[in-house]
Amino acid sequence: MTFRSTRAALIAASVLSLSVAVSPLTAPPAYALFGFGDIVYDPTNHAENIIQAARALEQINNQITSLQNEAQMLINQARNLATLPYSALQQLQQSVQRTQQLLGEAQRIAFDVQQIDQAFQTTYGDASLSASDQDLIAGARERWQNTVAGLQDAMRVQAGVIGNIDTNRTQMSELVGRSQGATGALQATQAGNQLLALQGQQLADLTAVVAANGRAQALADAERAAAAEQGREQRRRFLEPGSGYQPGNAQMFYDGN
């Protein structure tokens, strides 16, 4: 190899190296089309397609999330509309009926306005000036019997109310448990309403006890008032001037004749 041929080879290698080094700086623009046989590749179109696909995927994800939220909303609505599978109404009504039955079994003078008015016009009225002593005694005995009957009725009502306490305790525990374990608003509301009904039943029992005790106390007070009136009449009869003492013959010793 001569010097000239060696120099030519070095120049050729330098040119090739320069062309390789410069080639990245002369790359085609992004919008250029590259052909590979029958296939044409457009980078800009490819990027736009990727962006559109990403947007479509995002919309699908949003729709899926929206459907999930709607499904959860329907589930919550179903829970809120679910009714409470328990009712204490029958037991509460039975307790009220037992108390009403005891009040209805009041002896002698019942809880009736007309009957009370009639009793106070006759048995507890003013002592009759024309009544015999036997009539006065019979009236006093009748009033005493009314008082005793009223006291007995009051104690019977108290015993009935005490008997309802155990039933009320069971119902209260059940309803509180149902309220705490409610799956929705309707169940919680229904449990709360039944708890209010239980309180109403307890107030009814309390009212019955107060009424029975008040009746017994009123009969006792009426008996004392009537006894005072009868006492005045009996005292008047005792002090009423009559024929007085009439002297007569008295025989002290038996003479055998």
Q: Could you report the per-residue pLDDT of 9-50, keeping only the tens digit for each?
A: 444 444 444 444 444 444 445 444 454 456 666 788 888 889
Rounded Cα gap, residues 148 and 138, in angstroms: 15
Rounded Cα gap, residues 76 and 70, in angstroms: 10
154 vs 1 pLDDT, higher one? 154
The pLDDT value given to residue 109: 92
Enumerate the β-bridge partners of residue 246. none
Enumerate the β-bridge partners of residue 35. 40
State phi, psi for 146 to the nearest 5 degrees: -65, -40
Average pLDDT over residues 157-169: 95
Average pLDDT over residues 209-233: 94
**Residue bearing tokens 């009736």:** 112
Tell me how many helices (H) and strands (E) the chain has.
Answer: 6, 2
Give 137-155 as a DSSP string: HHHHHHHHHHHHHHHHHHH
Tell me the pTM.
0.66
The pLDDT value given to residue 126: 86
27 vs 88 pLDDT, higher one? 88
3-state secondary structure of 88: coil
The pLDDT value given to residue 56: 92
Q: For the chain, state the CA radius of gyration.
A: 55
The pLDDT value given to residue 239: 84
Comparing 30-39, 69-78, 213-222, the range with the smallest average pLDDT is: 30-39
State phi, psi for 112 to the nearest 5 degrees: -140, 130
pLDDT in tens, 101-125: 999 999 999 999 999 999 999 999 8
The pLDDT value given to residue 78: 85
The pLDDT value given to residue 21: 41
Residue of 16, 44, 18, 48 lying closest to 32 (CA atoms): 44
In this structure, are residues 88 and 194 in contact, taking their beta carbons and an 8 Å threshold?
A: yes
The pLDDT value given to residue 237: 83
In this structure, are residues 210 and 219 in contact, taking their beta carbons and an 8 Å threshold?
A: no
The pLDDT value given to residue 242: 64
Which of the four pLDDT bands, split at 50, 70 and 90, describes residue 250?
Answer: low
The pLDDT value given to residue 77: 85
Query: Residue 221 above 50 pLDDT?
Result: yes
The pLDDT value given to residue 128: 83
The pLDDT value given to residue 253: 65
Query: Residue 52 above 70 pLDDT?
Result: yes
